[in-house]
């Protein structure tokens, strides 16, 4: 539910300022307005240090937490953590450099630099070390080069001479440490690294304490910034500040201001005011609020779409997944997470609630359409026999058998044996030898056509709901609702197709088409008239929007297409597994359905939300709002 917010002016004595802001932060109902020109609040150094330290500890397993009360100690601990982390980084770099140096000197073997320098002094000749690609054959070009080793296509040489060798094919190597010394240094660095790791691991005791200190400093920072947002009048004796307050909190505001001797008064909005949006939801509606925040914050004029988005998303998701078995897995996973894990955050609880809702809707829709793990249920199966899809199929079969229409004649030409069918069940579940891939071809084709129409039917209802919700902002929406209903009644007759409105609701095709055409024309005339009244001569272009509405309704066909694709994958996995030995049969079933579940979740989430955020929001959402953020005490869950 969206709650309106009002703009208030607060005025009081400067001596009461500190106490007022402290109490306002505890109450958490006022979003103070920053004066124009006030610089944005810089992140305090303490908060930056704590955030960096907490980020470091995230990669470690947290030991039993130790409680401290002095928040100032947290800065010392954070400094210690960051210093320890820097030592680890520096030591790792030293180990890397040492390993690189060992790789350079290893081909020359063990030798003492001290003895080499002593020998150089005695004979007056310098030992020089070189390397070059083996393909260059440098020992043939320069006879003074002594080949000492070959490794990975590189030749290593020693030469005794004072003058440097100038060659682009030779690289001279210089050593400061012997191989023995380098290995000793590497061992020392490894010990230092282990000490730093152990020290950092011991500091994970303070992870919870650092979080508590972070919240403490964040609350202090917010309070300080709010105080600095006030303006002074009358030689710094009075302070003034404006703020936003939800209308359902005005009584609490009055009590707060009375206790703190602060004068407050509601003031009018100005043209440049950016009114925040305050959503007040609990339970299931709060889950929907999490969903709408993925896309945008509602405008302060918007109706709260949280519960609408949640319910329609659950419907779309279940239609795309199209499998009661998968829904059972979702629900079981949600229940397992809920009861196996303790101390869950509020956000995690809402996610589990969302998973439970989606799982429940998938079970319901899969049961209504007798779709369970892609298994082809027999007509006598109790689930299929009493499902909604079977009822719709039988109604459709009875309708065509009674009318003896083109659909009936088409199947009669394709399957002459159908002439003997006396009941809808015999017609529907006729088994043909012509099509080895389908045991009941007519029932399967009827199911596909019904699912396709249901996708369009759901889309038309969804768009109409959006238009009706915002009639107070756009009265032309009533005309577009009439246009959509009229088109739905007329188009089946124009396309010479049977529809749910014919075989379920019993509407005569010709009469329905005539009424639909009247509705369609009346809707266009109404929207055009409203457009002319609102926008003048430009309103005559209002009927052009029918193209957009038509395209948006057709966009819901993705519900059918994705469901059909998911079912085909499930069915293919099942058929393939039956041809394999037991072990590979189980492996294919598990891996195949697991992959299909992952794809179904991704596609269901993306397209289920997309139909809300793009198609539906076009008619029932302004967006571009700013979340209501009052001065309040942040707590650690």
Domain that holds residue 80: 45-104+185-222
Q: What is the pLDDT of residue 611?
A: 95
Q: Are residues 214 and 295 in the same domain?
A: no
Mode of pairing for the β-strands spanning 238-246 and 2-3:
unpaired
Is 581 within a domain? yes
Least confidently predicted of 70-79, 265-274, 475-484: 70-79
In this structure, is residue 263 part of a structural domain?
A: no
Model pLDDT, residue 456: 95
Q: Which two tokens stand for residue 621?
A: 């959402």
In the block, tokens 């009669």 appear at 412
> 433 pLDDT band (50/70/90 cuts)?
low
Judgement on whether residues 59 and 132 belong to the same structural domain of the protein: no
CB 5 within 8 A of CB 628: yes
Q: Is residue 431 part of a domain?
A: no
Give the number of other CB atoms < 10 A from CB of residue 105: 20
Mean pLDDT of 503-507: 91
Same domain, 211 and 326: no
Give residue 219's pLDDT. 83
CA distance 140 to 134: 11
DSSP β-ladder status, 231-233 and 171-173: unpaired
Based on the fold, state whether residues 199 and 322 are members of the same structural domain. no
5 pLDDT exceeds 90?
yes
Residue pair 421/401 in contact by the 8 Å Cβ criterion: yes
146, part of any domain: yes
Which DSSP state fits 172?
E
Strands 171-173 and 263-266, bridge-based pairing: unpaired
SS3 label, residue 89: helix
Compute φ and ψ for 29, nearest 5 degrees.
-125, 0
Most confident of the following: 33-47, 177-191, 260-274, 556-570? 556-570
Overall domain count for the chain: 3
C-alpha–C-alpha distance, residues 126 and 117, integer Å: 8
Residue 372 has pLDDT above 70, yes or no: yes
Judgement on whether residues 144 and 60 belong to the same structural domain of the protein: no
Q: Within this chain, do residues 217 and 344 fall inside the same structural domain, yes or no?
A: no
* CB contact at 8 A, 316 and 606: no
Q: What are phi and psi of 6, to 5 degrees?
A: -115, 155
Do 199 and 321 sit in the same domain of this protein?
Answer: no
Which tokens sit at 128? Answer: 């020089």
| Cβ atoms of residues 400 and 498 within 8 Å | yes
The rounded distance, in Å, linking the Cα atoms of 634 and 637 is 10
- Computed over every residue of the chain, the mean pLDDT equals 88
- What is the pTM for the complete model shown? 0.81
| 3-31: average pLDDT | 90
**Residue 100, both tokens:** 């690189």
Pairing type for strands 2-3 and 278-279 reads: antiparallel
Give the three-state DSSP class for 148: strand
The pLDDT tens digits for 603-636 are: 999 999 999 999 999 999 998 999 999 988 877 6
Q: Which residues contact 38 (CB under 8 A, 6 or more apart)?
A: 228, 229
Q: What's the pLDDT band for 426 if we cut at 50, 70, 90?
A: confident
| 3-class state of residue 207 by DSSP | helix
> What is the length of the chain?
637
Phi/psi at 532 (5° precision): -65, -40
Closest CA to 364 of 311, 313, 312, 327: 327
Q: What angle do CA 440, 444, 449 make, to 5 degrees?
A: 150
| Same domain (yes/no): 51, 115 | no
In the prediction, which pLDDT does 529 show? 92
State yes or no: pLDDT of 224 exceeds 90.
no
Q: Are residues 163 and 189 in the same domain?
A: no
Least trusted range by pLDDT, from 165-169, 190-194, 362-366, 625-629:
165-169
In a domain, 603, yes or no: yes
Residue 244 has pLDDT above 80, yes or no: yes
Note whether residue 72 is domain-resident. yes
Is residue 120 in a domain? yes
CA distances from 37 to 30, 33, 246, 555 (A): 21, 12, 26, 46
One domain for residues 63 and 94: yes
**Which helix or strand (DSSP H or E) is residue 9 part of?**
strand 5-13
In a 3-state reduction of DSSP, which class is residue 71?
A: helix
Contacts of 54 (CB under 8 A, 6+ apart): 207, 210, 211, 214
Residues 82, 206 share a domain = yes
Whether the per-residue pLDDT at 460 is higher than 90: the answer is yes
Quote the pLDDT of residue 36.
Answer: 66
Match 């399967």 to its residue by tokens: 444
Whole-angstrom Cα distance, residue 111 to residue 265? 88
First-to-last C-alpha distance (Å) of the chain: 24
pLDDT over threshold 60, residue 38? no
Output the pLDDT for position 139: 66
CA–chain centroid gap for 41, Å, is 29
Instruction: Tell me: do 172 and 189 sit in the same domain.
Output: no
* Beta-sheet pairing, 238-246 with 263-266: unpaired
Tell me, yes or no, whether 503 lies in a domain.
no
Has residue 355 got a pLDDT over 90? yes
């Amino acid at each position: 539910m969206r709650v309106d917010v009002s703009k208030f002016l607060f005025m009081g004595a400067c001596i009461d300022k500190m106490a007022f802001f402290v109490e306002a932060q505890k109450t958490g109902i006022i979003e103070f307005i920053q004066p124009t020109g006030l610089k944005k609040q810089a992140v305090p150094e303490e908060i930056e240090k704590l955030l960096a330290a907490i980020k470091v500890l995230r990669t470690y397993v947290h030991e039993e937490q130790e409680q401290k009360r002095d928040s100032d100690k947290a800065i010392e601990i954070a400094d210690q953590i960051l210093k320890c982390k820097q030592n680890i980084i520096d030591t790792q770099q030293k180990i890397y450099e040492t390993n690189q140096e060992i790789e350079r000197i290893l081909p020359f073997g063990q030798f003492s630099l001290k003895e080499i320098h002593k020998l150089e002094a005695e004979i007056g000749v310098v030992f020089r070390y070189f390397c070059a690609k083996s393909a260059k054959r440098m020992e043939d070009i320069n006879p003074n080069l002594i080949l000492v080793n070959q490794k990975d296509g590189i030749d290593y040489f020693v030469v005794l001479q004072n003058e440097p060798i100038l060659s682009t094919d030779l690289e001279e190597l210089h050593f400061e440490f012997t191989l023995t010394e380098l290995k000793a240094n590497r061992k020392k660095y490894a010990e230092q690294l282990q000490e730093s790791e152990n020290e950092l691991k011991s500091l994970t005791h303070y992870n919870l304490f650092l979080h508590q200190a972070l919240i403490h400093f964040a609350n202090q920072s917010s309070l300080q910034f709010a105080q600095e947002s006030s303006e002074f009048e009358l030689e710094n004796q009075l302070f003034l500040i404006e703020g936003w307050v939800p209308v359902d909190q005005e009584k609490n505001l009055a009590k707060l201001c009375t206790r703190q001797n602060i004068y407050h008064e509601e003031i009018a909005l100005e043209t440049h005011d950016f009114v925040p949006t305050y959503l007040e939801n609990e339970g299931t509606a709060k889950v929907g609020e999490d969903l709408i925040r993925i896309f945008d914050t509602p405008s302060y004029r918007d109706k709260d779409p949280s519960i609408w988005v949640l319910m329609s998303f659950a419907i779309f998701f279940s239609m795309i997944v199209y499998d009661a078995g998968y829904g059972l897995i979702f629900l079981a996973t949600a229940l397992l997470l809920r009861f196996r894990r303790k101390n869950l955050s509020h956000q995690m609880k809402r996610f589990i609630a969302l998973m439970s809702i989606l799982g429940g809707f998938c079970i319901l829709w899969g049961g209504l359409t007798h779709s369970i793990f892609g298994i082809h249920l027999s007509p006598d199966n109790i689930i299929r026999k009493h499902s909604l899809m079977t009822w719709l199929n039988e109604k459709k079969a009875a309708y065509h058998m009674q009318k003896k229409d083109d659909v009936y004649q088409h199947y009669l030409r394709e399957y002459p044996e159908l002439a003997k069918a006396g009941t809808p069940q015999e017609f529907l579940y006729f088994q043909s030898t012509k099509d080895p891939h389908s045991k009941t071809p007519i029932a399967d084709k009827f199911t596909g056509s019904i699912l396709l129409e249901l996708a369009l039917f759901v889309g038309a209802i969804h768009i109409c709901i959006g238009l009706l919700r915002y009639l107070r902002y756009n009265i032309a929406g009533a005309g577009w609702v009439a246009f959509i209903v009229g088109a739905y009644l007329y188009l089946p007759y124009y396309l010479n197709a049977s529809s749910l409105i014919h075989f379920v609701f019993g509407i005569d095709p010709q009469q329905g088409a005539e009424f639909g055409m009247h509705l369609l024309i009346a809707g266009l005339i109404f929207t055009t008239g409203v457009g002319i009244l609102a926008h003048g001569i430009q309103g005559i272009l209002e009927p052009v929007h029918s193209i957009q509405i038509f395209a948006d309704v057709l966009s819901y066909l993705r519900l059918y297409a994705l469901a059909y694709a998911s079912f085909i994958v499930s069915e293919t996995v099942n058929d393939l597994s039956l041809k394999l030995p037991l072990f590979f049969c189980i492996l294919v079933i598990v891996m195949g359905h697991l992959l299909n579940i992952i794809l179904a979740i991704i596609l269901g989430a993306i397209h289920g939300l997309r139909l809300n955020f793009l198609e539906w929001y076009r008619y029932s959402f302004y967006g571009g709002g700013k979340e209501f953020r009052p001065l309040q005490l942040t707590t650690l869950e």
